[in-house]
Structures are given as C-alpha cells and as structure tokens.
Amino acid sequence: MSQADTVTRILDSAEQLFAEKGFAETSLRMITTRAKVNLAAVNYHFGSKKDLIQAVFARFLTPFCNKLDKEMATMAAGNPNPKLDDVLGVLAKTMLTGVTSSGQSNKLSVFMRLLGLAYTQAQGHLRRFLRDHYNGTYARFITYLRDAHPELSPKEIFWRIHFAIGACVFTMSSIEVLREMSIADTREDTGIDEVMNQLIPFLAAALER
Amino acid sequence: MSQADTVTRILDSAEQLFAEKGFAETSLRMITTRAKVNLAAVNYHFGSKKDLIQAVFARFLTPFCNKLDKEMATMAAGNPNPKLDDVLGVLAKTMLTGVTSSGQSNKLSVFMRLLGLAYTQAQGHLRRFLRDHYNGTYARFITYLRDAHPELSPKEIFWRIHFAIGACVFTMSSIEVLREMSIADTREDTGIDEVMNQLIPFLAAALER
DNA sequence: CATTGTTTTAAACGATCGTTTAAAACGAGA
DNA sequence: TCTCGTTTTAAACGATCGTTTAAAACAATG
C-alpha cells in the first residue's frame, strides 16, 4: 500500500465518521480501523487529530472555493449587474457539481454536515484555520450579494444569507432523521431531490421577499 | 446543601455546558466542578450520564410542551380557523415567555442549541426519549399547521416547518460565532433582538410565500 | 441521645482516549 | 545486493473518561 493510499483512506474514513458522529465522538481507532491502516498512521502522516480535522476540511474546501471563485468571476465577466438569482445559482451549481472529494455518493449531505460542525462544534483551532484560509472567497461572495441588493444594508445581507445557510445546513445535516420523521408523519418518503426542490424556492422566497 | 440544591445545580451546570460544548465534549467532572458538588453525585441522583442528558431535556421540554399545548388549545377555542400567523405567533410567544428553567439570561439560545443537539447529536437514546415523551405535542402542533394551510400537502408542511426550524436552530446555536463574523464583516454589532427582528419576517416570507 | 435512612465524600476501578516509541518491513538508488 | 530514507507495525505511555465502592457526614425520628 502506497503512502497516497494510506493518506487518502484515512481522509475518507475520517470525513465519513466526522460527518456521521462529530469530532469528539470519533476516535482515531475508529478511523484507522475503517481505513484498514495502523493506528499510528494518523499521527505519522498528519501530526495530530486536530491536524487531521483541518486536512479533512482543506481537502474539499480548497477545490470548492477555487471553483466558486472561478465561476463567480466568469459570471461577473458576462454579466455586469448579476442579480441575487444569478449569484445563488452559481453557488448552487458549484455545490452540486464541485463537491466530489472522496468519490462516494451523497456527498452534498456530508459537505453540509461538516459545514454545520464548523459552525457549531469548532473548537477554536478549526475556526482559526477556516478564517485564515477561506475568508477571501467568503468575502468575495458576500460582496456579490451586496452588489446584487444595494438597497439592503450589509447587516441585512449578512443575516439573511446565514438564515439561509442555517436552513440548508440543518436540513442536510439531519436529513436522515428528518426523512424518518417525515415518514412517520406523512406515511410517505421524501427523496433528497424532492427536499432540494422544496428548499430552493423556500430560500428564494425568504431572501427576496 | 439540600438534595434539591444538588440536583438543580447539576442540571443548571449540565444544561449550560451541553449547550456550549455538546454532550461528548462535556465530562461529568466539568459539570460537577462547576456545580460545586461531588463527582459521584451525578450517578447517585441521576443514574448515568445518559439519564442526566434526558433529565436536562425533560426539565425544560415538559413545561414548555405543557404550556404550548395549553396556549394552542386556548387559541383554537377563541378562533375556529387559526391562520399560520396565529399558530406561529402562539409558538413564538410560548418560546419567548415559557423557557425559563434555570433562571439565567439568554435562555432562548440555550433552548435552541439543545434542540439542535437533539437533531444532530442524538445518540439514539435521546431520540427515543424525545419521541416517547413529546411526540404528542409535536403531532398536535403539526395538525394546527395543516389546518391553517389545507391547500398544502402534509409533506410540504413538514419540510417547510423544518427548514424554518433549521434557520432558527442554526442561527441561535451559532449566535456568538455569527455575531463575531458579522462584526468582522460589517464593522457593527447586532443585538439578539435585532437578529430576531430580522429572522421572523425572513421565516414568515419563506413559510407563506 | 441513639438509631436509621439519606446524602456526600474521597478513592479507586477498568476502559478508552490521543500520542509516542522503537523495531520491523519496505523500496528506490548506487 | 547492499544501503538508507520512508512507511508500517505492535506495544506501551500517561491522561481522562464514566462508574462503583465503602466509609463519613448529615438529618430526621423514636
């Protein structure tokens, strides 16, 4: 087994388990067992558990942010005054097509779940890491939103977009639980596409109003 | 120190720490140290850490659900065809006035944070506990929503209300982080009342549309 | 005051955690 | 084939976890 294999398998297992259980509830022994590598491999290749957490985020956030930056620039080049729909459309498209780190299915919910953990479970070091590495893309995105709605104050833009992020992150984070509850409630299942098809107009209505 | 004191102090500390750090990241030693009681007091009075978690939820959910049930019944008695605004208004009022378990300030964000943990960090036992004890109130509330919007399918009701719950839970769960980010973004702070004043019309627009 | 049931206390239990160590296994270049 | 840097392995480290124990302290009752 080559080094790249070992590193990748650790990242895959860690990503999956972190999204499923959170950081504290996931032990290095769970990760290395699932990855079929030796326990010491994490500390050898990454240094510490904290560094592994950052590596998991870096692996999917770096290409995602690069892609988002590029797509945003492309949109702005062909459209001097992008509206909210345009900006959010680029974001949605990037999320749907650009999140493919470990190649497993259902990647979007993992992405969302990790994003949620970053907000609610970040232990300081992760928050600092994300700010230091991805604040640029975030700031540029917010700027597009402001330009699309110059009549709204920066505050209003900030909170509306985070309300929307909240609805997305929460829904996709708890998608399994929610689908179970939905079945118990309504006696019929709801596919993820169907959830997305309801979520998008929900958010559009809330953001535009 | 009487028994009631000890039990209450443990519940207060646990509630605070769970909301702040989550279940796994909060040790019994943190809880008992903050509560200024002996370590063994948790196992003596509650049995186990899982039982303590359930007790924390029970302490604020039981009076909350009782109050919500009563307020809903009162509303329905005086209003044969409550609209969405009425139903959500009762919910909001109950949340703002009825969440006062440990008497500390900023209780609403603790309530929301714990609610979020119940969805995203529930380890099975908690999910079962909540379903067994509070599913009645939940079902009744959903019924009011359905009656208020008979033209919507049960599925649509279910998902819209959970998108809304997501925006609330996420926002209030990460309120400290978000306020920091907002200050960095906009160079001005946002009070919690102000956040609520933006959140409510946001949700209203999304639910009604 | 003595007794009895309840609560608190200090100490220890075994289990599991993240991390470290040192030797073994491996692989490419001389 | 031998060498040397890299990677993997098994074992152990100290720390911390939830839980248990048995004795001490307490409070109420006779």
List, for residues B8-26, the tens digit of each pLDDT value.
999 999 999 999 999 999 9
Residue B176, pLDDT score: 86
pLDDT tens string B130-171: 999 999 999 999 999 999 999 999 999 999 999 999 999 999
Interface of A with B in 108-127 (CB under 8 A): 113, 116, 119-123, 127
Q: Chain A residue closest to B182 (CA)?
A: A158
pLDDT band per the 50, 70, 90 thresholds, residue A124: confident
Tell me whether residues B159 and A201 touch, CB distance under 8 A. Answer: no
Q: Residue A92 above 60 pLDDT?
A: yes
Count of other CB atoms within 10 angstroms of residue A76:
17
Pick out the nucleotide with least CA–C1' distance to B46: D19
| Rounded Cα gap, residues A113 and A169, in angstroms | 6
Residues of chain B with C-beta less than 8 angstroms from the C-beta of A139: 185
How does residue B1 score in pLDDT terms, banded at 50, 70 and 90? very low
pLDDT at A40 over 80: yes
Confidence class for position A208, pLDDT limits 50, 70, 90: confident
- In this prediction, residue B108 has a pLDDT band, given cuts at 50, 70 and 90, of confident
Q: Is B54 helix (H, G, I), strand (E, B) or coil?
A: helix
Q: What is the pLDDT of residue A68?
A: 97
Give the nearest nucleotide to A7, CA to C1'.
D7
Is the pLDDT at A78 greater than 50, yes or no?
A: yes
- In angstroms, the CA B198 to CA B202 distance is 6
Does residue A150 carry a pLDDT above 80? yes
CB-based contact (8 Å) between A205 and chain B? yes
CA angle A100–A60–B169, rounded 5-degree value: 100
Q: What is the pLDDT of residue B2?
A: 53
User: Any CB–CB contact under 8 A between A142 and chain B?
Assistant: yes
- In B, residues 156-185, which contact A (CB 8 Å cutoff)? 156, 158-160, 162-171, 173-174, 177-178, 181-182, 185
Asked whether B175 and B109 are in contact (CB, 8 A), the reply is yes
Instruction: Quote the pLDDT of residue A108.
Output: 84
Mean pLDDT score across all residues of chain A: 92
Whole-angstrom distance, CA of residue A38 vs CA of residue A10: 10
Put simply, the answer to whether B169 touches A166 (Cβ < 8 Å) is yes
Q: What is the pLDDT of residue B129?
A: 96
CB count in 10 Å sphere of residue B1: 8
Q: What angle do CA B197, B201, B206 make, to 5 degrees?
A: 145
Nucleotides, chain D, CB distance < 7 Å: 6-12, 16-22
pLDDT > 90 fraction of chain B, expressed in percent and rounded: 80
Q: How far is B2 from chain A (nearest CA, A)?
A: 35
The answer to whether some atom of strand C lies closer than 7 Å to the beta carbon of A104 is: no
Any A CB within 8 A of B191 CB: no
Measured between CA atoms, the residue of chain A closest to residue B21 is: A121
Strand C atom within 7 Å of B36 CB = no
Domains of chain B: 1-47 (1.10.10.60), 57-208 (1.10.357.10)
Q: Is the pLDDT of residue B4 over 90?
A: no
- Please state which of the ranges A108-117, A158-167, B90-99 shows the lowest mean pLDDT: B90-99
Contact between B46 and B11 (Cβ < 8 Å)? no
Among A47-51, A77-81, A98-102, A108-112, name the one with the lowest average pLDDT: A98-102
- Check residue B104 and give its pLDDT: 53
pLDDT tens per residue, range A64-74: 999 999 999 99
Q: Closest Cα of chain B to A121: distance in Å?
A: 7
pLDDT confidence bin for B122, thresholds 50/70/90: confident
Residue bearing the bigger pLDDT, B73 or A192: B73
Strand C contact with A26 (CB < 7 A): yes
> Percent of chain B scored above 70 by pLDDT?
94
pLDDT of A1 strictly over 90 = no
pLDDT at A100: 61
Q: The pTM is what?
A: 0.92
Looking from the CA of A110 toward its CB, the CA atoms found within 13 Å total 21
Question: Which range has the worst mean pLDDT, A119-128, B125-134, B153-162?
Answer: A119-128
Instruction: Report the gap between the CA of B100 and the closest CA in chain A (Å).
Output: 23
CA distance B208 to B80: 20
Q: Pick left, alpha or beta for residue B26 (phi over 0 → left; psi -120 to 50 → alpha; otherwise beta).
A: beta
Which residues, including other chains, have CB under 8 Å from residue B62's CB and lie 6 or more apart? Answer: B133
Residue, of B118 and B49, whose pLDDT is higher:
B49
The distance in angstroms from the start CA to the end CA of chain A is 55
